[in-house]
Amino acid sequence: MPSRTLPPASYAGLDFGTSNCLIALWRDGGPSLVELEPGESTLPSLVYVARRLAPIPQPSRAWITQAMAAARGRPGRGGAVEADAMLESRVRAQFAREAGDHALDALHKQTLQEALQLGSTPRFGREALAASLEDPEGFFFRSPKSFLAADIDPVYRARFERIVELMLTHLRERAQAALGAPVTRACIGRPVHFGGGSPADQARGDARALALLEAAARRAGFEDIAFEFEPVAAALDFERQLDRDRLVLIVDVGGGTTDCTLARLGPERIAQASRAGDILASSGERLGGNDVDTSLSFTGLMPAMGRGDTELSGLPVPLTPFADAADVFNVPAQNAFFRAERIIEGIRRRCAADVAHKLARLETLRQTQQTLWLTMKSEQAKVALAQADEAAVTLDRIDEGLAVTVTRAQLSGAIRPLLLGIERLMLDAVRLAQAQPELIYVTGGSARSPLVQAVIRETFPGRPVVMGDAYGSVVSGLAMQAHRLYGRR
């Protein structure tokens, strides 16, 4: 049977990022980013699905007859025999009350899949954020890429695969709408390593992540899938700017991962079918801007909830509940915090009234499961502190009228592990390659930070540093690679 012929441009480069997603087509001899929201080619990695009340069932005639018979067997009001019409109305009202109570109980226990089966429409990006603020009771997910490598319960893993599938389906549909034809093939970016730990842990995490990502992509409608390292894709995009061959260190600092690659790039190499020999070394780790957000949440926002205070005995308030609450990209930690009611109550009983009041806010955070919202408030403070010494953060969801001041000094402490990690990964790539770069090419959303740029320049003094498109470099390179793979089929 002859194979189905696809349109010549039915392929795309897809950057499934921790903080933002992008997709690019190949048009007029070059990559073209798809508009994912009005005026925006970036789609924040946010998904929201509202809980949906199941339809209230109607009682069957048999149930009504049985209920009326049972009611007649009980003493009537004042001994009078209730008329059939009045009795039927009463049992119907009873059924409606019980069915309504059951439906509300089911709503609170509803799963993501049940909400989708009931017809709830997923929302993505900035629209998802707005929906979550309007209705915090729904399912809200940020940075699903952060969970791809996690060794977690199969139930949670299936849920994350479904979330990734929803996002990839949305991205594919947006690309198809822009192209006017099916998009069934994709070159998808991947970090050097999805997770941390030992080399063996990283290898297992990478295998889990790629398996989940590929399965979700196929369910989203991509039939032919290739993966490319994100820093290699950024290198392919940057190479078009070079007028001669250079040895380039590509530094990609994203929301969830940091990757470094030392590569030979230039016009003499750009047309080669395989570039494997030009990639001298790569290093990478699960370390990025999200780590700064969670750290700043822990150090800057959680003192308002009792972190750093002492109990009546003089002992410090235990840090575990705060650490678990802040670690929003760690499923076991989040589950531990959401089950920590007795632990928090025990700590409150051991504290003076003013500290117990702060800990009540931590309990509110637990009950409302607003840990992700708290991290997003921390991210907003991080952005504000790039321009100011202090930033005011309102936490009215935790306690009406509550506001916290976060300082640039706290941000400096929160970002230090990221800066040290970037320096280490750059030097690792150079050491593995046994060669020094002629210039540094920097990309990734978190690379916009002046502190990140400063550590790169300090690590390689005197070397030219070129700042690329923070978001578009990787997806443009992925579109180029997709064209190489699929453009002649």
Q: Of all helices (H) and strands (E), which one includes residue 189?
A: strand 185-190
The token duo for 84 is 């059939």
Hey, how many other C-beta atoms are within 10 angstroms of the C-beta on 394?
A: 12
**Cα-based angle 458, 198, 453 (whole degrees, multiple of 5):** 20
Nearest Cα residue to 396 out of 382, 377, 372, 381: 377
pLDDT on residue 79: 43
Residues 6+ apart with CB under 8 A from 315: none
Residue pair 124/167 in contact by the 8 Å Cβ criterion: yes
pLDDT on residue 1: 41
pLDDT averaged over the chain? 90
Q: Of all helices (H) and strands (E), which one includes residue 344?
A: helix 341-349
Counting Cα atoms < 13 Å in the Cβ hemisphere of 417 gives 15
How far apart CA 340 and CA 336 sit, in angstroms, is 6
pLDDT on residue 97: 85
In the three-class reduction of DSSP (H, G, I as helix; E, B as strand; rest coil), residue 34 is classed as coil
User: Do the bridges between strand 279-285 and strand 258-265 make them parallel or antiparallel, or are there none, so unpaired?
Assistant: antiparallel
In the three-class reduction of DSSP (H, G, I as helix; E, B as strand; rest coil), residue 234 is classed as helix
CA 300 from centre of chain: 22
Residue with tokens 């997603």: 21
pLDDT on residue 101: 79
DSSP notation for 242-268:
-SS-EEEEEEEE-SS-EEEEEEEESTT
How far apart CA 448 and CA 454 sit, in angstroms, is 11
How far apart CA 104 and CA 53 sit, in angstroms, is 7
In the three-class reduction of DSSP (H, G, I as helix; E, B as strand; rest coil), residue 406 is classed as strand
Q: Of all helices (H) and strands (E), which one includes residue 336?
A: helix 331-338
How far apart CA 291 and CA 371 sit, in angstroms, is 14
Nearest Cα residue to 230 out of 456, 475, 428: 475
Total-model pTM: 0.83
pLDDT in tens, 309-343: 999 999 999 999 999 999 998 888 999 999 999 99
pLDDT digit of tens for each residue in the chain (489 aa)?
444 444 555 899 999 999 999 999 999 889 999 999 999 999 999 999 999 988 888 888 888 888 888 877 765 544 444 577 888 888 888 888 887 878 788 888 888 999 999 999 999 999 999 998 888 889 999 888 988 998 888 888 888 899 999 999 999 999 999 999 999 999 999 999 998 888 898 999 999 999 999 999 999 999 999 999 999 999 989 998 899 999 999 999 999 999 999 999 988 887 776 777 889 999 999 999 999 999 999 999 999 999 999 999 999 999 999 999 999 988 889 999 999 999 999 999 999 999 999 999 999 999 988 999 999 999 999 999 988 999 999 999 999 999 999 999 999 999 999 999 999 999 999 999 999 999 999 999 899 888 999 999 999 999 999 999 888 999 999 999 999 899 865
How far apart CA 462 and CA 464 sit, in angstroms, is 6
Residues for the chain: how many in total?
489
The token duo for 339 is 């089950």
* Separation of first and last alpha carbons in the chain: 17
Q: Of all helices (H) and strands (E), which one includes residue 272?
A: none
Q: Of all helices (H) and strands (E), which one includes residue 284?
A: strand 279-285
Residue with tokens 């992509």: 217
pLDDT on residue 380: 93
Residue pair 327/302 in contact by the 8 Å Cβ criterion: no
* Residue 120 main-chain phi, psi, to 5 deg: -65, 130
How far apart CA 53 and CA 442 sit, in angstroms, is 48
The token duo for 440 is 């540094």
* DSSP state at residue 229: E
Residues 6+ apart with CB under 8 A from 357: none
Q: Of all helices (H) and strands (E), which one includes residue 394?
A: strand 390-394
How far apart CA 422 and CA 255 sit, in angstroms, is 13
